[in-house]
Every structure is written in C-alpha cells, then in structure tokens.
Amino acid sequence: MDWTQEQVTELSRLWDEGLTTAEIGRRLGITKNAVVGKVNRLHLSPRQSPIKRVEKPPVIELKGPACSWPIGHPREPGFHFCGQPPVAGKPYCTEHSAKAYVPATRSGRPDRPPHHASK
C-alpha cells in the first residue's frame, strides 16, 4: 500500500489518541494489519497492551511437610493452604486426600454411585 502524507499524519494522530489498530484501520479505510505494519515501520512509540494486566499474587511457600490443599481464591485476601500434616507420600492431609483421591473400580472409573435423573 502506498501511504499518503495525510494518511501517515492521521495514523500518527489516531495512534497518539490511543485508538486500537482495528479502529484506526476502519477510520482510514485499511486493514488492521496495514496499520500495525506502518506503525512498526514508523517506529511509533509502543503502547500498553489493551489487555488489562493483573498482578500475580506473591508466591506462598509452605514450611516443612504440610498439606498443600488451597483454601479460598488465589487473588482474594485470606488465600492460604491447609497446612496440616500430610499423609505419608501425599501432598494433602487425611481430610483433603479423601477429596483428592477417589478409589477406582475394576472398570477404571471412580467408585461412585451412578447418577440417575429423577422423573
């Protein structure tokens, strides 16, 4: 595509306003990819990604052998791990091992009663 000076000026202005590449393309009557290419060739200043960045929660380390069953949501205050003594050779305590490990039957399926829909 051959860019006119007016298009380059308008591209730079819209870019500085923070419009998305798709919106700039619509306004200039070109594709989003053409906008991206020209922005790169012009070395226009990079912008923050439009995808909202979420800060990761700090890493939580367990001291010694402890149940690593998560309690709560990692992005909410109060999130922690169980911390009780684990079953030997397992990462969870007795209570959480019972939830995490379901015995299998000969068919290889979990040993749970079949679910029948009520009529």
Q: Each residue of 28-52: pLDDT tens digit?
A: 999 999 999 999 999 998 876 655 5
Q: How far apart (Å, rounded) are the C-alpha atoms in residues 103 and 119?
A: 30
Q: In this prediction, what percent of the chain has a pLDDT beyond 90?
A: 45
pTM above 0.75, yes or no: no
- Provide the terminal-to-terminal Cα distance of the chain, rounded to the nearest Å: 66
Lowest-pLDDT range of 28-42, 47-61, 85-99: 47-61
- Residue 45 three-state SS: coil
Q: How far apart (Å, rounded) are the C-alpha atoms in residues 98 and 112?
A: 13
